[in-house]
Structures are given as structure tokens and as C-alpha cells.
Amino acid sequence: MDQRRSFSRRQFMGGAATALGYLGLKPGEGLLAAEVDETVRFPFARKLDDPYDSLAHLSSNENPWGPSKNMLEAMNGAWKYANRYGYPDGDIQSAIAEHHGVSRDHILMGAGSGELLKVVGLTFMSPGKKVIGVEPTYSTVYRHATDLRADAITLPLMEDYRQNIPEMIRTIKINHRNVGFVFLCNPNNPTGITVTAAEVRQLLDNIPEDVPVLVDEAYHHFVQDPSYAESLPYVLEGRNVIITRTFSKIYGVAAMRLGYAIAKPELIDRMRAYSTGSVNALVKWGGAAALKDKESEEWVLNKTVELREKMIAGVKSMGFEVLPSNTNFFMMHTVRPSSEFRSAFRERGVSVGRDFPPMLDWLRVSVGTEEENERFMQGLREIA
């Protein structure tokens, strides 16, 4: 096991207990974000003395503060089920269903939304079938398709780096009989740009009704663009829309793996046959607690937006073009190959995003803590 990433049960329990005891907090006791340091609300934001933690982690769009106090309390309390099969799970599925105003039959749990994207591929793809979407995007979906000897038809982004909905509609109609599903990452990763509510409706209203549309809303919580809307109403209308969400981003449990899909029950039943049921007890309890903890969610949103805009302003002041972002990351135009920047940053202890072909002179940068962001800015001043 990679010792940089391992975290034992004893450390987890001890860390949570120590953090709460040190603060004199009782279970369920609220904290106002304006009144506390981020390491109080998010105890594990206090980094361990470890080489892995010496890096500024700006490469994977993670929540740099980790899970909230309320999530830690809930997960810590679930250790007593570690030796059991069929353990109580905090009724996470009902909590998610209630959160969205749907029935449990509309929900499928997964170990992160990544697992569910693969489940969609296994459900709807087979040799000769095609998935249609843009490039660059979260292309793992396309790799799943090709692994199944299916095909991926990828369309270029428009000149403003938005997804080309008219061209997507045209391509779907041409390939209708062989389309397994359509993929829409909204907001898009890696650009951070949304597909507007009007564009989503345009897509759904102009393609055959039997074509499934997978909408990855991993970064939904960070969107503040009024032209955007979640796609849940289309599920409630009974359309062939599948939405995936994750707890890895705003809720800060990427390593714990928790996500879910929302779709009409008929689609969920088809997908369930390919689901592994591999979600652990701890994160289920943590997820149920997170959905109730609006205060912490709001704190992460506001802090992320504040720091993102500060970084973008600094990058622009140095003459770099930056795409508008509605996520916890942004893309900057490096002009020369972004791989050169990535290597130079790595030498300075800063980890930034990978290549996203064909945008090989653009660099994706995640929002980190204030200290991590400053290390990035200092590195950029040296590299540029």
C-alpha cells in the first residue's frame, strides 16, 4: 500500500476524536463559517507531516479542506459496523431520494460517479454501438466504450470552447440506430463551461426519444451561472435522461468513493444488473450527514469561488487567457505546450492538471487552499 495515501482506522478515529475533543464540540453542534478557521470546520485540513502532503495538489479538482466535522462524526460512528455484512447504512438512498424529491427507485448508488459512468457503458453499449459527445471532456466514458468494442464519436468544441449542441443533434440523428447513449458533462471538465438550460432542452427536444442521455453533474454544486439548470426535471418527466452526481468534490470524500445516478426506475433497473454494490459503510453515513449540512456546503462553495476568482485575476494580470469557469478549477492558455508548465510546476512542488487533447496548450488548474494557490502563483511568476 502506498504509505503516502494510507490512513488507518486508528488514525481516522483518533484524528476525528482529537479534533472534536480539542475544540470542545458536541455531536450535532453547529459552527458558523464566518466565526471559525477552515481547519475547525474541516479538521483534516491540518496536513500530516508527510512528503505527499508537501505537494500543492492542484491537479484533480478535489476539495482541499476535506470532509466537514459533521461528516467525520457520522463516519466515525459507523466503524462499529465494519465487521458486518448487510450493515445499517444511514439510509443514504432514502436521504438522496428525499434530497431530490424522487423515490428510492430513481436512485442507484456507486463507489463514486466514475463507477456509475462505467455502469452506463455496460448497460447501453455493445460491439457496434456508439457513444456521442465532445472532446475534450471527461473522456473515461469513451474509454469504457472502446473497452467494450463499441465506438466513440467525439465532436470538437466550438470556437468559444462550448459544447456544440446543434452538431451533436445532427450526429445523433445520422447514427440513431446505433447510438448507445449521448454523453454531456455539465459543467464540462476540463473547460469549466456550462451547457445552458436552453441548450439542454434543445438537445432533448430534437433527438429521438429512445436515445439515452447521460448528464455528468459532478460539478453542479459550484455553478452560479443563471443560464444553467440541473437536468432533474427531465427525469421527472420520464425522459431517458441519466444524471450522475458525486460526493468527491464539494463534500470532500474523493478517497472514500461515493456517488449516485438518478433516472427513471426502468433505466435504474437495467443499470442495477451491472452495479457492484461496492460502497462502504463509513462513507454512506458520511454522505447522509453531508446532505443535511447545508452550512458546510455553502462555506466550501463561497470559499472556492472566492479563491478561484482571486487566482484567475492574478493569472490574467500576467497576460494569460483564462476560460470562464463554473467549477472548482479553471483553464489557462499557456500558448506553449502545457506539458512544459506541468513539469516546471512539479519541480516546484506543485501538481497541476494533465493534458487534455486537443487543447495541448491549455492547462487545467484546481482551486486549493490559499497557501497552495500562492505557491502556484509564485511558480507561475517564475515559469512565465
Q: What is the pLDDT of residues 294-323, one digit of tens each?
A: 999 999 999 999 999 999 999 999 999 999
Please report which helix (H) or strand (E) contains residue 331, including its range: strand 329-333
Nearest to 158 by CA among 312, 361, 359, 364: 359
Q: Is residue 14 part of a domain?
A: no
Examine the fold and report which residue of 263, 292, 321 is the final residue of a domain before the chain moves on: 292
From the first residue on, what is the mean pLDDT of each consecutive set of 10 residues in the chain (384 residues)?
39 45 42 50 61 90 96 95 86 96 97 93 96 96 90 97 98 97 98 98 98 98 97 98 98 95 98 90 96 97 98 98 98 98 97 97 98 98 94
Global pTM value: 0.86
**Phi/psi of residue 154, each to 5°?**
-110, 130
Within-domain flag for 105: yes
Instruction: Tell whether omega for the bond before 233 is within 30 degrees of 0, i.e. cis.
Output: no
Is there a domain that residue 164 lies in?
A: yes
Supply the pLDDT for residue 87. Answer: 80
pLDDT score for 3: 37
- Residue finishing a domain among 261, 292, 323: 292
Domain span at residue 170?
A: 92-292
pLDDT at 6: 37
Q: Is residue 1 part of a domain?
A: no
Out of 292, 326, 345, a domain closes at 292
How many CB atoms are closer than 10 A to CB 292? Answer: 14
Q: Which residues contact 327 (CB under 8 A, 6 or more apart)?
A: 61, 187, 189, 192, 219, 222, 223
Q: What is the domain count for the chain?
A: 2
**Statement to judge: residues 226 and 317 lie in one domain:** no
pLDDT confidence of residue 39: 59
How do residues 150-159 score in pLDDT, each as one tens digit?
999 999 999 9
